[in-house]
Amino acid sequence: MADWGEESENPELTEKQKKEIAKWFLTNAPAGEIQYVAKDVRALIADDRLYNMAAAEAFPLFNKAHLVVLEMPDRSGDVIISSFGEIDKDNFFDPRTAQIVTVDHMKQVCTKVRPANDEELPSAYVEEFRFALDAELCKYVVDTYPKGTCAVYCTRGKDVDGPGVNFDFAVVISASRTSPQNFCNGSWRSIWTLEFKDDLQVVEVKGKMQVVAHYFEEGNVQLDAKNECRDSTLLQSPEDCAVSISNTIRHHEAEYMASLEESYLHLPDTTFKDLRRKLPVTRTLFPWQNTLQFSLTRDISRELGIGK
């Protein structure tokens, strides 16, 4: 029989296990902090080949999940790294500038851009709706989110060339605020799917909102709040649709923000109090001013000669 020491030893992790653990830490990094996490993960693994394998898989997942915003190399605008604009792993479509952007995921920078070809662009009819909505949303985002960015993608029916056929849009809003020197980072992400139903003359609106925050001064507190909603509006002209949809999004996002603020105002009186026991199991407060009534205290005092 093997001795106790041999049985209690943990087996060495395989390369695959190490890679998966590193990948998990990278993909679950808080908003705006993946580069800091990557530095620590690389040091812990102490194997550049293994780290690069994990990072090559993790960074694209993180960038898309967090809707990371990158500046284009020609300064013509910003591109949101989103699955809605993904051409392939390293190339993403920016609908506002009608350009394809090549991305270095691990460095989180754009390396080059090219004009989108005709096959990658929506029809003139669909683009009229998309352009009008994008313009309205830009006004809303500028007013509401510091350093916020938005994009409107055609996700179905981009070749529709006139009334009578349905098509879909996806609206993506991404805003982040990083302040590592103050131990605080956070982001807002919302995705709105729009179904333009010509037969019913209605636009179905479905939204998913997510607020993430990380505060790490002398601790580690994270917030990850999500909300979903549904609504609808009439299918009208491109300009009228844009105003109506933008107002719908504005209403639901403002309502969600207000509900978050309301709940946080009551945190000290509700949630924080529920996190700790109001009284110990004995249902009496601990008498710190007279601990000698407890036999354990008396015994320790006697053994140590305290009070003599």
Q: Which domain CATH number covers 213?
A: 3.90.1150.210
Domain boundary pick from 121, 136, 151: 121
Per-residue pLDDT of the chain (308 residues; tens, 9 = 90+): 445 444 446 678 899 999 999 999 999 999 999 999 999 999 999 999 999 999 999 999 999 999 999 999 888 889 999 999 999 999 999 999 999 999 999 999 999 999 999 999 999 999 999 999 999 999 999 999 988 999 999 999 999 999 999 999 999 999 999 888 888 999 999 999 999 999 999 999 999 999 999 998 888 888 899 999 999 999 999 999 999 999 999 999 999 999 988 887 776 666 656 655 555 566 666 565 665 555 555 555 565 555 55
**Judgement on whether residues 251 and 146 belong to the same structural domain of the protein:** yes
How many distinct structural domains can be found in the chain? 3
Tell me whether residue 284 is in a domain. no
Position 217 scores a pLDDT of 84
Position 182 scores a pLDDT of 87
Tell me whether residue 33 is in a domain. yes
**Judgement on whether residues 48 and 164 belong to the same structural domain of the protein:** no
**Judgement on whether residues 256 and 112 belong to the same structural domain of the protein:** no
Q: Which domain CATH number covers 75?
A: 3.30.1140.60
Position 1 scores a pLDDT of 44
Q: Give the sign of the dihedral formed by CA 254, CA 255, CA 261, CA 264.
A: negative
Nearest to 174 by CA among 81, 250, 67, 297: 67
Position 290 scores a pLDDT of 63
